[in-house]
Amino acid sequence: MSGTFRGIWVIAYRELLRFVRERTRIASSLLMPIIFMVVFSEGLKRQIGSLAVGVDFVKFMYPGIVAMSVSINAIFSGLSVVWDREIGFLKEVLVSPLSRSGVVLGKALGAAVIALFQSLVMLAIAPLFGVPVTLEIVLKLIPIVFVLSLSLAGFGLLIGSRMRSQQSFQLLVQMVVFPLTFLAGVFFPVNNVPRWMEIVSKLNPLTYGVDAIRRIFLAGEVPRLPLGSSHPIIGVIVFGHTTTTLEDVALVGALGAVLLIGAIFSFNRQV
Task: Please work out, in degrees rounded to the nearest 5, the angle formed at the alpha carbon of residue 115 by the alpha carbons of 109 and 120.
Answer: 125
More confident residue, 105 or 49: 105
Q: Are 191 and 60 in contact (CB under 8 A)?
A: no
Handedness of CA 105, 103, 74, 202 (dihedral sign): negative
> Nearest CA to 108 among 143, 78, 72, 142?
78
Handedness of CA 42, 46, 47, 51 (dihedral sign): positive
Q: Are 137 and 220 in contact (CB under 8 A)?
A: no
Handedness of CA 199, 205, 207, 211 (dihedral sign): positive
DSSP letter for 76, please: G
Average pLDDT over residues 189-195: 77
Q: How far apart are CA 238 and CA 251, in angstroms?
A: 12
How many alpha carbons lie under 13 Å from residue 147 in its C-beta half-sphere? 23
Is the pLDDT at 192 greater than 80, yes or no? Answer: no
Is the pLDDT at 225 greater than 50, yes or no? Answer: no
Domain spans of the chain, in order of start: 2-268
Q: Which contacts of 19-22 are long-range, i.e. CB under 8 A and separated by 24 or more positions?
A: 19/110, 19/114
Q: Are 136 and 220 in contact (CB under 8 A)?
A: no
Q: Are 259 and 107 in contact (CB under 8 A)?
A: no
Q: How far apart are CA 234 and CA 191, in angstroms?
A: 9
Contacts of 102 (CB under 8 A, 6+ apart): 4, 7, 8, 11
Q: Is the pTM value of this prediction over 0.75?
A: yes
Is the pLDDT at 107 greater than 50, yes or no? Answer: yes
The β-bridge partners of 193 are: none
Res 47: pLDDT: 54
Encode pLDDT of 52-92 as tens digits: 445 677 788 888 888 888 888 888 888 888 888 878 777 77
Q: What are φ and ψ of residue 51, in 5° steps?
A: -80, -30
Q: How far apart are CA 116 and CA 225, in angstroms?
A: 32
Encode pLDDT of 34-58 as tens digits: 887 777 766 665 555 555 445 677 7
